[in-house]
Chain A
Amino acid sequence: MDEIFLMNNVFIIICFVLVLLMQGGFILLEAGSTRMKNAGHIAGKTIFTVGIASLVFWAVGYGFIYGEGNLFIGLSDFFYGDFTSEVDGLAGSVDFMFQLAFAAIALTIAFGGFAERAKLSAYIVFAVLFSAAVYPVVAHWIWGDGWLAGLGKQDFAGSTVVHLTGAMAALAATIVLKPRIGKYNKDGSANNLAGHNQVYTALGVLLLWVGWFGFNGGSTLGVEGAFFGYVSLTTQLAAAAGALAAMLTVMALTGKADVPTMLNGALAGLVAITASTAFVATWAAVVIGLIAGVLVYLSMLFFDKMKIDDPIFALSVHGVAGIWGTLSTGFFATPALAEMNGGQAGLLYGGGLAQLGVQFTGVAVSGIYAFVAAFIILKAMSAVLGGIRVSEEEELMGLDISEHGSYGYPENIREDEKFGA
């Protein structure tokens, strides 16, 4: 067997494992960012929704994205089971596993908008419908043989496909579900329903950061030329710059070096560089990360002011940074890297507005589709399921006990947390 073929496949399977492990990062991030009474629920739901995403991706998701079809949807390769074909120099099954992990990440991001108030049944039904009808459509447009791919849209590892799609579904969820009890006062002021464990949140971010080398590095789809090294370099620089910029911004504006904001800055840097990692110079990666770090904090303030309760900051980290990351290649893509990886050079390299226009179109249409589709799904689910939010009493008790019958922290749960917000 060809050595390069073998190495490519081993590399991508390792990257698949890294991306799957990012779910562990999300478990820690989300559990740490929410209250003790919901910790077991937040952690547990991630595991079973990864299960649902996997089954749906196998049944229809992969086929909708990569199957033979038209500019809008793929229509073959359902119930995938091929062990003979090659895709992009990889065994078909290896490529399938790697792509499956991305679909599961998009779903987990979407569930950020459900945190601490959605019924368990809502998670199950939405996991099926999002994985079948929302994510695959956008992924086909950009990564399959869709119309945005035809326009030369640059989204190397999924700032739009994975992060923005997930975030727009999260936005629809936060709007349909409405804010958590106790988040906003009658006079319009907001309360800080602080997460219960910043150490978990920080560890979650670190785990995601490590996993991102599989996410972006693996998107090179092979080891030839070792281009994954360059992709890892820009990824690392953007994450570092994002953390620094967010920390300095929150310190400059509030006088306090808020830890969750700094952590969100690192993630925003990672999300932003995901689209542009293979297209931009290292200095541009730093600039992209810095801008993402500033944007994420301003966005957190904006959503709070708009009374959109986003407990995990999915809208700011994955949505706003996802948009910025996608647009950034329109500014910073270098001619050499664009030639190597697709599309055209960015505005700063004399590419004019052409690539920026494509990036903008891609972000706008994909974002609107993901939001509208998720909103319709959630409204329909709400009608059919008799609401997708738990009762007030259940929310006050916490979802650990109301949905699962046991606490994530049975010994440590505070008496007032059991029945109060």
Chain B
Amino acid sequence: MLNETLSQHQLNQWHDQQAYNACECAVTITERAWGRAPAPFVFFLTGSGGRKEQSVRSDQDHGIIFWGKDEEQAYFQYLGEQITHQLEKAGYPRCEGKVMSNHAAWCQSYHAWFSQIDEWLEENSWSSLRYLLIFSDARALYGAKWLLDDIKNSLFQQIAPGSNAMKRLIENTAHRQRGINAIGQILTVSNGEYQGTFNFKEQVLYPVVHAARLWAFRENLQPTSTIERLGALQGKHSNTPQVPGWFEKALELRLKYCRRDKTEGIHFINPGYFTKSETALVKKWMTDGARFMRKTEQQLLHECKKR
């Protein structure tokens, strides 16, 4: 049962525990049906789970890497389906984009994953680059962590500073969505189910999430959470833009208000609920986050042009 007073950090640990329990249960079911796993494997979380930024409710984003032959994929895909099923039973909806370990694209052998990464880089399309960004947030939760570490190391080395791949990733995450209108009001949804609310995740958190991820590629930073990425970046270079120090507070504020509404639209918050000081803070975060993203883009694209 989810305790209503949990902090964001404790909430992430709770989500991790749910996912871990789902894995253990799924392994038992799979072993009963198919026998012991034919090779070592790792189950990883990605998306907000990978970044340790889940809200009260969250959908599923995960995958599996297994050491062994491609013929063993059926076993691990069955395991992936069991994990997906267990998570669904625990209240985590399936991912509409099918980023789940019961789908072949996200349940592959160690060697196939290397090829997959190369293929995505080579394809260079909007969707393949989006998959790369998702994968870069992957965090090992259950099993042989080294399998994931090897592949992520390889990926990060291929996204060299100033490379074309880096340029395309910057273009893919370019954020131009305004959060505040010309008279300083928070932009809200104008009609429909979420009328009068704004998407906290997209308007406040995402610019910083995207920028921190780009810096992680640039500096080969292994942590997956935005807070840890920002921490690792701080003081690394004199010429990096000023790193926002408020991200954790923003996650806590989101948690406070998404608990209050208890709606399905967990990322949509009515700004009318904020106190005066919270409104001022949120506006400052939006401006600050957009500036951080803009400066990140400018600096990293400048490196691309120099090469």
Q: Which of B177, B192, B193 is in CB contact (< 8 Å) with A255?
A: B177
Contacts of B177 in A (CB 8 A): 255
Chain B positions 168-210 with a Cβ under 8 Å from a chain A Cβ = 177-179, 181-183, 185, 187, 190-193, 195-196
Please report the C-alpha to C-alpha distance between residue A255 and residue B286 in the assembled complex, in whole angstroms: 14
Contacts of B182 in A (CB 8 A): 251-253
**Any B CB within 8 A of the CB of A190:** yes
**Any B CB within 8 A of the CB of A191:** yes
Q: Which of B181, B187, B192, B196 is in CB contact (< 8 Å) with A191?
A: B192
A189 and B181 in contact (CB under 8 A), knowing A254-B187, A255-B187? no
How many B residues face the partner with a CB closer than 8 A? 14
Nearest CB on A from B197, distance (A)? 10
Please report the C-alpha to C-alpha distance between residue A254 and residue B196 in the assembled complex, in whole angstroms: 12
Please report the C-alpha to C-alpha distance between residue A251 and residue B182 in the assembled complex, in whole angstroms: 8
**Is A252 touching B183 in the complex (CB atoms < 8 A)?**
yes
A189 and B192 in contact (CB under 8 A), knowing A255-B177, A255-B178? yes
**Is A190 touching B195 in the complex (CB atoms < 8 A)?**
yes
If over half of B's interface residues share one DSSP class (helix, strand or loop), that class is named, otherwise mixed; here it is loop
Contacts of B178 in A (CB 8 A): 255
**Is A252 touching B191 in the complex (CB atoms < 8 A)?**
no
**Is B195 touching A255 in the complex (CB atoms < 8 A)?**
no
If over half of A's interface residues share one DSSP class (helix, strand or loop), that class is named, otherwise mixed; here it is mixed
Q: Which of A185, A251, A252, A254 is in CB contact (< 8 Å) with B190?
A: A254
Nearest CB on B from A19, distance (A)? 35
Contacts of A253 in B (CB 8 A): 181-183, 185
**Any B CB within 8 A of the CB of A412:** no
Contacts of A84 in B (CB 8 A): none
Please encode chain B, from 20 to 46, with 1 for each CB lying within 8 Å of some chain A CB and 0 for all others.
Answer: 000000000000000000000000000
Chain A contact-residue range equals 10 to 19
**Is A252 touching B181 in the complex (CB atoms < 8 A)?**
yes
Please report the C-alpha to C-alpha distance between residue A254 and residue B183 in the assembled complex, in whole angstroms: 10
**Is A254 touching B181 in the complex (CB atoms < 8 A)?**
yes
Nearest CB on A from B177, distance (A)? 7
Contacts of B195 in A (CB 8 A): 185, 189-190
Nearest CB on B from A296, distance (A)? 16
**Is B191 touching A191 in the complex (CB atoms < 8 A)?**
yes
Residue of A nearest to B177 (CB): A255
Please report the C-alpha to C-alpha distance between residue A190 and residue B181 in the assembled complex, in whole angstroms: 21
Q: Which of B182, B190, B192 gathers most chain A CB within 10 Å? A: B190
Nearest CB on A from B272, distance (A)? 13
Contacts of B185 in A (CB 8 A): 253
Please encode chain A, from 235 to 277, with 1 for each CB lying within 8 Å of some chain B CB and 0 for all others.
Answer: 0000000000000000111110000000000000000000000
Please report the C-alpha to C-alpha distance between residue A251 and residue B190 in the assembled complex, in whole angstroms: 13
Residue of A nearest to B189 (CB): A189
Q: Which of A185, A251, A252, A254 is in CB contact (< 8 Å) with B193?
A: A185
Q: Which of B178, B185, B195 gathers most chain A CB within 10 Å? A: B195
Contacts of A304 in B (CB 8 A): 191
**Any B CB within 8 A of the CB of A85:** no
Contacts of B193 in A (CB 8 A): 185, 189
Q: Which 7 A-B pairs have the closest CB atoms?
A: A252-B182, A189-B195, A255-B178, A192-B191, A190-B191, A253-B181, A255-B187
Interface residues of A (CB under 8 A from B): 185, 189-192, 251-255, 304
Question: What are some 19 contacts across the A-B interface (CB < 8 A)?
Answer: A185-B195, A189-B191, A189-B195, A189-B196, A190-B191, A190-B195, A191-B191, A192-B190, A192-B191, A252-B181, A252-B183, A253-B181, A253-B182, A253-B183, A253-B185, A254-B190, A255-B177, A255-B181, A304-B191
